[in-house]
Amino acid sequence: MGQSIAVGQRGGGRTAFAVLGAISVCHLFNDTMQTLLPAVYPLLRAELSLSFVQLGVITLVFQTTGSFLQPLIGRFTDRRPQPYSLPVGMSFTMAGILVLASSDRYSLLLVGAALIGIGSSVFHPESSRLARVASGGKFGLAQSVFQVGGNLGQSLAPLLVAFFVMPRGRESLAWVGFLALLGICLLTLLGRWYQASGEARPRSRQALNAPGPVGRRAANRALIVLIALIFSKFFYLSSITNFYIFYLMQRFGLTAEASQVCLFAFLAAVATGTLVGGPLGDRIGRKSVIWGSILGVLPFTLVLPFAGLGVTIALSIAIGLILSSAFSAIIVYGTELMPGRVGTISGLFFGLAFGIAGLGAAFLGALADWTSITFVYHVCAFLPAIGLFAFLLPDIGQDGRLRERART
């Protein structure tokens, strides 16, 4: 692998696909392990008699840990890149999985969730920067290839639980630690390539404050809009990833295994949408993808709470496909606004994704306990309307420069 990677990097303008493929595989390992947490909720609920609120708090601990740490780590690594921090992050994730596999106390489950959150917070900012280094200028494509590994990992986790963990018991989660060991080996090789690329040097204050296509005040306003869009996207996704299984079981009487398969279909659609969104943003512009993704899913979310089983599954697949296409475009758009702050922006957006999803899990879990799972989807159906705020984003072209808005 090392030889082909080196060739891809020396090409300068060429995309180092071997690097992107390897970091995407590591993202798959990382997100498979972190998604096992909500995927085993039915087991935890049955074994330890946990309420929906307690399950939501577990997610909150995991997501909040990542939410607070990722921007801080991204900010630090903007100034001093840390190529070999990647295997360290994967080691934290492995420790968290082992704790989840062996603990029967609720407090230890929270510790395991926190360890997985720390691992993800170390992994995402620096690996996102590594994908950009290997992009050869195709930033949307590189971000999509990187992210699709994570989405595939998220989609595989429910199947892993349904067909491996559930028949063997929660202790079988420990076998997943072998994915982490393989990831640590790959990330060590990638860290070596990253170090040799010349992009891991400490950066000056001038480089960190490199000018973007708009002024700092306009960039900050655009970041606020992007944060609102991320809130809409990940709060709604939290309702699916954490409670879709229970929704299908309670409303339609599906078994836990069948519901896990339906969740896999949704997450596979998310992976597909992620892979499409980045290259589409390279072609037609990030703003168009962001606008169409967030607002375009609104009709589907409004219909879903009233649909039958077959239509519900079809709508969830459409929602996953459309809604997921935005995140790659959002991250690349944000790094174009502040080109010297790749780690900060990546850490901020990944951290927000974690934090918003965690808050969403806790809030929606409480709402489900007080009302019903079905009511949760009635409330969340209106979240994509926040996509209207995408109109306020500056129109940045594929070349990273501001385009004049046509006036009529």
Residue 60 has pLDDT above 90, yes or no: no
* Residue 163 contacts residue 59 (beta carbons within 8 Å): no
Calculate the dihedral angle through the C-alpha atoms of 366, 370, 373, 376, rounding to the nearest 10 degrees: -70
CATH, residue 241: 1.20.1250.20
The overall average pLDDT reported for the chain is 83
Q: Which domain holds residue 65?
A: 2-392
In-domain check, residue 405: no
Partners of 402 in beta bridges? 396
In-domain check, residue 101: yes
Tens of pLDDT along 144-155?
A: 888 888 878 877
In-domain check, residue 39: yes
Tens of pLDDT along 269-317?
A: 888 888 888 888 778 878 888 888 898 899 999 999 999 999 999 999 9
Tens of pLDDT along 76-100?
A: 877 788 788 899 999 999 999 999 8
In-domain check, residue 128: yes
What gap in Å lies between CA 158 and CA 41, rounded to an integer? 11
Residue 19 has pLDDT above 50, yes or no: yes
pTM to 2 decimal places: 0.71
How many domains are contained in the chain? 1
In-domain check, residue 402: no
Angle formed at CA 385 by CA 382 and CA 391, multiple of 5 degrees: 175
Query: 200 pLDDT band (50/70/90 cuts)?
Result: low
What gap in Å lies between CA 173 and CA 69, rounded to an integer? 26
In-domain check, residue 406: no
Round the CA-based radius of gyration of the chain to a whole number and report it.
20
